[in-house]
Amino acid sequence: MLDDNSRKEQLSRAFVTAVAAHAGIKCHHQTDLDVGVDGHFKEVRKRQTSRTRLRKRDQTEVPVRIVNEFGVSLEFQLKSSSGCVLNQDSVIYSADSSDYDKLVDVERMAPILLIVLALPQDQQQWVKVEEDHTKLNGRCFYHFVPTGPMTTTKSKVKIVIPRTQTLTASSLKKLMDDHQERFRPLLGGQNVKSV
């Protein structure tokens, strides 16, 4: 049987994957080395080509469409906790100092998005399976921790996240658009906005 931390990790992956799928964004999860990045989001686009193909059912020529990944990946560090403090305006997450240091590393080319799944303290409330639906009780909050000096403490580092920064399909699309816009000059100025 999985320990509590492994269960929380699996639930956070499921939550983020579901939100990304709802937004139409591909979610990759890192499965090997622990380098401070647990995964990344990538947009997927359908594009019509100048080629055509013969449709078998009615023998007509139809345009060929290709599906591929598009733009710049948005990397994330994924955490899950039943000990977050939820205030009226903010969520306080206590990060391990080593995880915090990976977020603020000044040598990173782009910031890493911290995603925290705040779960209820009662484990029996984490997931409810009903006849017509399954409910994951908790909310994911996101935050870009600015790069800067690493912590000098070995204890936990408190990260304050505005409660308005809830991870939803629409907020993820906005995050992706903003991230693509940041890299637009490097991409030759091409239009990288979501459709």
Handedness of CA 33, 35, 37, 38 (dihedral sign): positive
- pLDDT at residue 193, rounded to an integer: 45
For residue 179, being part of any structural domain is answered with: yes
Structural domain boundaries, residue 81: 4-187
The proportion of the chain whose per-residue pLDDT surpasses 90, expressed as a percent, equals 53
Range with the largest mean pLDDT of 26-40, 88-102, 105-119, 181-195: 88-102
Beta bridge partners of 95: 157
For residue 28, being part of any structural domain is answered with: yes
Strands across the sheet containing 139-144: 25-29, 39-55, 60-81, 113-118, 139-144
Position 31 confidence tier, pLDDT thresholds 50, 70, 90: confident
- pLDDT at residue 23, rounded to an integer: 94
For residue 65, being part of any structural domain is answered with: yes
For residue 195, being part of any structural domain is answered with: no
For residue 15, being part of any structural domain is answered with: yes
Query: Average pLDDT in the 143-171 region?
Result: 91
Query: Average pLDDT in the 15-22 region?
Result: 96
For residue 192, being part of any structural domain is answered with: no
Phi and psi, residue 30, nearest 5° = -70, 135
Domain count, the chain: 1
Q: State the CB neighbour count (10 A cutoff) for residue 48.
A: 9
Residue 62 CA to residue 48 CA, distance in Å, equals 10
Identify which of 95, 91, 108, 177 has the alpha carbon closest to the alpha carbon of residue 148.
108
For residue 19, being part of any structural domain is answered with: yes
Mean pLDDT over the full length of the chain:
86
The residues, any chain, with a CB within 8 Å of residue 62's CB and separated by 6 or more, are 52, 53, 54, 55
